[in-house]
Structure 1
């Protein structure tokens, strides 16, 4: 490939991904539909079978699935740099909006106002919708429902980030033992260009950072290093996509007094109104904690594992998807994710948002609009804020 053609390819990746980043409302499922329309139907960058295989790969990995699909497509189109540019274009609009919102939040001190409380009610409706959607997909039988409920009970009794990791590990071991009849046998091969050597190096880098960062954080006591350690660990260990970020980050930040539950949920509610991946909620948190530099550090930290995981997994995709043991572990882990999210729905979402009967009524209306009338999430935010002000005016 000539340098001129390569540069033209990178510019094309940036322009297409930026347009998607500005228009892709509605969460991961909607993002994947937008990707299909643009990358497969319109531009023919890859066929539907390859696209389905990429989605399957990203479902097996922790992290933001839609972002990882975009990164993988960028890598297939333009190499490693193409993956970075694809991520940048798709993610940056959302990051900028949430950083600006955090700065306005701090400048005008409207944390206790109707606007913020309305956003928290929106978050309650959206999280409940996500739990039901994940539950139908990830807990379709009694065994997986039991794993999810057990995870909920343990998280409510012993709320901590480390307990969440133990639950995920335990659920994976249960999956290995209990789900022998749930695996797929007809798995077709997937063509990749990244070498296995590069994949191994990427995986070793990820593992090394997970070990080294907590040690550095312990001995340096620097706020930005602490943030990088926290959000890198979240990005590397969160299964289930953006909504599952909520409980894991909350356990790392709110109990330590770094942010109040109101500040946390206000940003989460606002994140529903913007296009792009929900993981950019972290950019809001970074701005609230350490300003612009905090936003930069946190954004790099939470998305870096996605790059390392995609690079590590692509060369070994065929072997992984054929292994029954890997499939069984993931079934158990996914069930526990539903339970962890259900615990977070109670604390902090419900405890901080539903404070009166009218709050419950508004949340119920928003949930119905989202789940039955299928309004997009950004429209739910608008309706929720208007509804919050109407309730204040009536009462």
Structure 2
């Protein structure tokens, strides 16, 4: 069990670049390096996370932990991956805008964004070779990328996933026999989810309960990852904290490693000045919990569902679409937010050479880019 926590804790410190990069880091670590699951199983978990509200990449990590060590393994995976980002966001709340405005810090973060380009590109290339072997799956991949680049929105993402599932169920279904078992979702996560949704109506609301409830409801409505939670939290917060403080926290949440949902840590700290640490932790738990509860409803039976011919065909279509999602994310926001000059592109090519040709361990590649970031600051 400690190995689960240790591995995710390390990834939590180095996983810069947002959800698409996290999926790349997870694939490199748990499919290629540790072989805890194969490409097919991994793609199914990624596909499942696309259909549920909540933090997509964190749900994938939670599911990997669950497959490796049950519910305790899932909790340890979540704690390990999220704790570094929570610590950084707490430090930001304590230090206000000083750290986020530090030029050296900004240079190091920029260099690690360049590393995220390499990781996402590698994940996209590897998954393309695994799941785009037919003309139809290749077409689904590139149609998805084109649609998301032309019409970037959560609605577009959900529409292309639904279309890919229908096309896959009709044209990509594998021959097989459906078992006589019936699908029965796990009830206790669903019951707990429903109870927490109506929590404010069941008890006299205290500030802590109200804070938890607000963030729980926000986490229940977020499809498509951390960027989507911004308008929900902005509407929820209103005038309780200043616009400058809100945007500072949001900007830093995009720059730090780990899940962007830890933006809630910063907001919770600001909203409960009488008990800021409690507010930060309650808000963090509230925004992550609904996605994990819904995942637990279906995760145990996901392998059974994947064996049904029509569903396996739908998954084949979705897997090709997920590659298209990654390819679109590789350009926007990963590439466009990281590559700001010709020298940035040179550093990415150099890092790709270290990573793929010389087969340097990831820790050495990370250290190399931190050094590059520090040198670029002093050279500038």
TM-score norm. by structure 2 comes to 0.68
Q: Separation in 1 of the partners of 2:80 and 2:254?
A: 21
How has the CA–CA distance of structure 1 residues 18 and 348 changed in structure 2, closer, same or farther, with 3 Å as cutoff?
A: closer
Q: Aligned-pair distance for 1:378?
A: 3.9
Gaps of 5+ in 2: 15-24, 50-55, 200-209, 235-242, 270-276
Q: Secondary structure at the match of 1:374?
A: coil
- In 2 relative to 1, CA 296–364 (structure 1 residues): closer, same or farther, beyond 3 Å? farther
CA distance in 2, matches of 1:207, 1:334: 28
Cα distance in structure 2, aligned partners of 1:368 and 1:187: 46
Equivalent residues in 2 for 1:45-64, closer than 5 Å: 58=45, 61-62=48-49, 64=59
| SS of match in other structure, 2:300 | helix
For 2:125 and 2:254, locate their aligned partners in 1 and report how far apart those are by CA, in whole Å.
20
Residue 216 of structure 2 is matched in structure 1 by 228
Query: By how many angstroms is 1:225 displaced?
Result: 5.3
1:284 equivalent in structure 2: 262
Q: How far is 1:310 from its partner?
A: 4.0
1:384 to 322, 346, 369: 369
* Secondary structure of the structure 1 residue equivalent to 2:327: helix
Unaligned runs of 5+ in 1: 1-12, 38-47, 76-82, 214-221, 238-246, 272-280
After TM superposition, the structure 1 stretch with the greater mean CA deviation from structure 2, 97-106 or 345-354, is 97-106
Q: Deviations over 1:253-279 (max 9, x none)?
A: 389896588535412xx33xxxxxxxx
How many residues get paired?
324
- The residue that corresponds to 2:21 in the other structure is none
Q: Which residue, out of 241, 246, 249, partners 2:226?
A: 249
SS class of match (2:347) = helix
For 2:164 and 2:194, the matched residues in 1 are separated by: 24
Q: TM-score, normalised by structure 1?
A: 0.65
Structure 2 residue corresponding to 1:98, chosen from 37, 60, 85: 85
| Alignment partner, residue 42 of structure 1 | none
Aligned equivalents of 2:282, 2:114: Cα separation in 1: 28
Which residue is equivalent to 1:219? none
Q: What corresponds to 1:185 in structure 2?
A: 176
- The 5 Å alignment of 1:1-395 reads 15=2, 17-22=4-9, 27-31=26-30, 58=45, 61-62=48-49, 64-75=59-70, 83=71, 85-105=72-92, 107=95, 108-111=98-101, 113-180=106-173, 183=174, 185=176, 199=185, 201=187, 227-232=215-220, 248-253=225-230, 263-267=252-256, 270-271=257-258, 281-291=259-269, 293-294=279-280, 296-299=282-285, 301-302=287-288, 304-315=290-301, 317-318=303-304, 320-395=305-380
Cα distance in 1 for partners of 2:292, 2:226 equals 17
Of the structure 1 ranges 348-357 and 371-380, higher mean CA displacement relative to structure 2 is found in 371-380
SS of 1:121 mapped into structure 2: helix
Q: 2:108·2:373 contact (CA, 8 Å) conserved in 1?
A: yes
CA contact (8 A) 1:139 1:145 kept: yes
The alignment's C-alpha RMSD in Å is: 4.3
